[in-house]
Amino acid sequence: MEIFYGKAIFRGIAIGKILFNSKNKQQVRRTKIDDAEAEISRFEKAKEEASQELEVLYNKALKEVGESNAAIFEVHSMMLEDDDFNDAIIEKIKNQLVNAEYAVAKTGDGLADMFANMEDEYFRARAADMKDISERVISKLVGEDSSFQLKEPAIIVAKDLAPSETIQMDKSKLLAFVTELGSSSSHTAILARTMNLPALIGVKIDSGWNGKFAVVDGYNGKLVIEPDKDTLAKYKKIQQDDLEKRELLKELKGKETVTKGGKKIHLYANIGNPSDLSSVLENDAEGIGLFRSEFLYLDSDNFPTEEEQFNAYRKVAETMGSKKVIIRTLDIGADKQVGYFNLGHEDNPAMGYRAIRICLDQQDIFKTQLRALLRASAFGNISVMYPMIISVNEVMQIKEIVKNVMEELETEGIDFNKNIEQGIMIETPAAVIISDELAKEADFFSIGTNDLTQYTLAADRQNAKLENIIDTHHPAVLRSIKTVIENAHKAGIWAGICGELGADTSLTETFLSYGIDELSVSPTFVLPVRKVVRDTD
């Protein structure tokens, strides 16, 4: 057994025989020609054939991997028509009286090198596309088929793979890709992800592996050649578990989150960034129940501007369409420290200057966020909620600020949703105890069980030594949840859970019995939770 390491670009396990893609670069010889015009016509004809082939590939990709991935072939068609590429080839044929194959190869190599030396990773990845285009034209000139066909299921190992090679392979026989070159933003990598194929890049490959039995471990970036019995058994088990999970996904996608008795709940996802949206859609969440907006601040070296925030919120709202997107206002402090806030040292940061306390104290920061959020509310179904509330007075202050911001926007003639839903996070014992009062001032409650557990049990959620003390099933936590739901319903508002406990399927039935209206969980837990809800009587 031998193990080689690379960078995983798609998670998953593949087990099977290696097929070494030995499709070498076409060996192109330089020959002298007499008739430059005839040679240019040969090139034009080959280019036309290549262009037609690209159109076929585009349509195939469109059907199999969607428009955004198919777009690469449109890019190839454009690159094929590019003046720099064409002029350089024609000039070489005319001035140097060389054969078209040579002129294409030389020009393609030159442009590919230029891309490869660029700083920007995106442009560096285009080097492979340039080579792909010139190889395609050359294969037309020499009359060879440029595709690489699979006869049996295989793990493809290659120095590099062009997107067109990837797309031409029979998907049902592809197990995984392993390449030495390529980057995680190359289109081949993107295609691997779209096709759900485990893939590794940066592996020092060896043609001697051809035909050998291997495992691609896309979780840990490993290629295991000729695994021993125990290793193979371990990987087979992981693969089986993955398969079961995927089956579960397929089965429950598009289904309602409803109990056997007909009680429907809203099952949303938690996100920290617009980049999490693909996972939200992939896992069929019915909305976003918690957008932790502080990640926009954590990812930045300075306060994100109103415009930057507006763009992020708008993107999320537009992507989700009519589905609900609940944005939680800034929850900085405690475990989420940001240098430029200059919060200073605190003996007890979890119980300190954090979240809504900062926003009410430094209202400029809060107002900027509210403006961005309200502006984005014109582009989708946005709600807003406030973290770490302990008093009705805080809610009144927030409402006053929101009112002022709304008046400002109105004066400026900027569109926003005047009836935006405003909710309160229930994360403190104080909020639980006065939840009957708070319910009169809120449109909904979202229970943050991570903090609620920490404050109820007086146990720091960051302290690893308290692993055994932090009992999320503690009766005090569960009774708090029950009380909050009851008080919400008495006031005619809905209540949900957005803390990690919402994804604890051993409690789903309990939450349903309390009358929970919504659960918001990490995207990968959406379907497992849906399954338990649907199995509940």
The answer to whether residue 498 is catalytic is yes
Rounded to an integer, what distance in angstroms lies between the CA atom of residue 533 and that of residue 516? 11
- Report the candidate in 177, 239, 154 with the shortest Cα–Cα distance to residue 7: 177
Which position among 451, 504, 517, 518 is part of the footprint of Mg ion (CB under 5 A)?
A: 451
Rounded to an integer, what distance in angstroms lies between the CA atom of residue 134 and that of residue 100? 11
Residue 200 tokens, joined:
């590794």
451 lines the binding site for ligand PEP (CB under 6 A): yes
Measured from the CB of residue 427, what is the shortest distance to Mg ion in angstroms? 5
Q: Contact region for ligand PEP (CB under 6 A) — 121-129, 391-399, 442-450, 505-513?
A: 442-450
499 lines the binding site for ligand PEP (CB under 6 A): yes
Rounded to an integer, what distance in angstroms lies between the CA atom of residue 30 and that of residue 416? 66
449 lines the binding site for ligand PEP (CB under 6 A): yes
221 vs 387, beta carbon nearer ligand PEP: 387
| Strand order, beta sheet including 213-217 | 2-5, 222-225, 213-217, 13-20, 154-158, 174-179, 199-201, 7-10
Find where tokens 């037609």 sit.
52
203 vs 334, beta carbon nearer ligand PEP: 334
> Terminal CA-to-CA distance of the chain, rounded, Å?
50
448 lines the binding site for Mg ion (CB under 5 A): yes
Residues 422-441 that bind ligand PEP (CB under 6 A): 427
Considering CB distances under 5 to 8 angstroms, the limit depending on partner class, which of Mg ion, ligand PEP, none binds residue 276? none
451 vs 517, beta carbon nearer Mg ion: 451
Residues 283-342 that bind ligand PEP (CB under 6 A): 290, 292, 331
Rounded to an integer, what distance in angstroms lies between the CA atom of residue 482 and that of residue 476? 10
- Give the pairing of strands 494-497 and 518-521: parallel
333 lines the binding site for Mg ion (CB under 5 A): no
Residue 76 tokens, joined:
């190839």
507 lines the binding site for ligand PEP (CB under 6 A): no
The answer to whether residue 187 is catalytic is yes
Classify 287 in phi/psi space as left (phi over 0), alpha (psi -120 to 50) or beta.
left
420 vs 497, beta carbon nearer ligand PEP: 497
198 lines the binding site for ligand PEP (CB under 6 A): no
3 vs 458, beta carbon nearer Mg ion: 458
- Give the pairing of strands 266-271 and 174-179: unpaired
- List the beta bridge partners of residue 423: 385, 444
Q: Which of 76, 187, 266, 359 is catalytic?
A: 187
Which position among 239, 397, 450, 505 is part of the footprint of ligand PEP (CB under 6 A)?
A: 450
Active site residues per annotation: 187, 498
> What residue ranges bind ligand PEP (CB under 6 A)?
290, 292, 331, 427, 448-451, 498-499
